Amino acid sequence: MNPANPPAATTTNARDRLIDTAIHLFNRYGFHATGVDRIVAVAKVAKKTLYAHFPSKEDLIIAALSRKRAAFADKFLPAVLASSDQPRDRLLSLFELAKSWFNDPDFYGCIFVNAAVEYSEPGHPINACAREFKTLLRGFALEQAQAGGAADPEILADQIALLFEGATTVAQVSARPDAATTAKTIAAQLIDQAFRR
C-alpha cells in the first residue's frame, strides 16, 4: 500500500478530490509549503468550493490525516492479518509491507510524523491527530504479542512500534528502503526471544 498516491483520475466528488490532492501535495511538499491556491489548482476546483467543505486549511489537513488513518486501519492492517494466521508472522509482515512502501517512488516518509513536526505544539489538533494515529500500530503489535503468548506483550509492542518508526525515518531521511529488511531481522530476534517459553 502506498500512502502517497496522487489523486485518482476517476475521483468525481469535489470533497474527495480535494482530500486526495491535499494528501499528495502535503506528502511531497509539506504542510506549510502547500497553500490552498496550489491545492485548488491541482484539484481543479474553485477556492469557494474548498472553503464550502473545509472552513480552514487546518480542517483540510485533519480530513487528509483522517483519510490516511482510515486507509491504514482498513487496508494496511487487514493486509497484515491476511498474510498469516500466526502472530509472529504477522508482526514480521509489517516490515514486509513497509518494504514495498519504502520502495515506492512516491514515498516521502510518514505523513503523520511530518504533520507532528510542522505542528509541534502538543495541544494543536493536528499534532494530537498525529499522536493518536501512532497508537494504532502499537495497538496492533500488542494484540499480536498477546495472541502469540509473549512473555511481556507491552515491551514487545513498544519494540516493534519503535523499529517500524525507525525504519520509516531511515528510509525517508537516508533514502534507504532496505531499512525495512534490517528492521525485520531485528524484529525476528526480539519476537523469538519474547515468544520463547
* CATH number of the domain to which 112 belongs: 1.10.357.10
Q: Tell me whether residue 19 is in a domain.
A: no
Does 3 or 49 have the greater pLDDT score?
49
Q: Tell me whether residue 5 is in a domain.
A: no
- Label residue 197 by pLDDT band (50, 70, 90): low
Q: Tell me whether residue 40 is in a domain.
A: no
On average, the pLDDT of the chain sits at 92
Q: Tell me whether residue 47 is in a domain.
A: no
Pick from 9-13, 32-36, 104-108 the range whose average pLDDT is largest: 32-36
Query: Could you give the C-alpha distances from 138 to 3, 65, 112, 118, 171, in angstroms and in order?
Result: 18, 18, 15, 23, 20
If one counts the domains in the chain, the total is 1
- Residue 131 scores a pLDDT above 80: yes
Query: Could you give the C-alpha distances from 105 to 6, 150, 171, 172, 182, in angstroms and in order?
Result: 11, 36, 12, 11, 20
Q: Tell me whether residue 111 is in a domain.
A: yes
Q: Tell me whether residue 161 is in a domain.
A: yes
Residue 139 belongs to what domain range? 62-195
Q: Tell me whether residue 158 is in a domain.
A: yes
- Residue 149 scores a pLDDT above 90: yes
Residue 188 neighbours by CB distance under 10 Å: 14
What pLDDT is attached to residue 12?
60
What pLDDT is attached to residue 196?
79
- Residue 3 scores a pLDDT above 80: no
Q: Tell me whether residue 168 is in a domain.
A: yes
- Label residue 21 by pLDDT band (50, 70, 90): very high
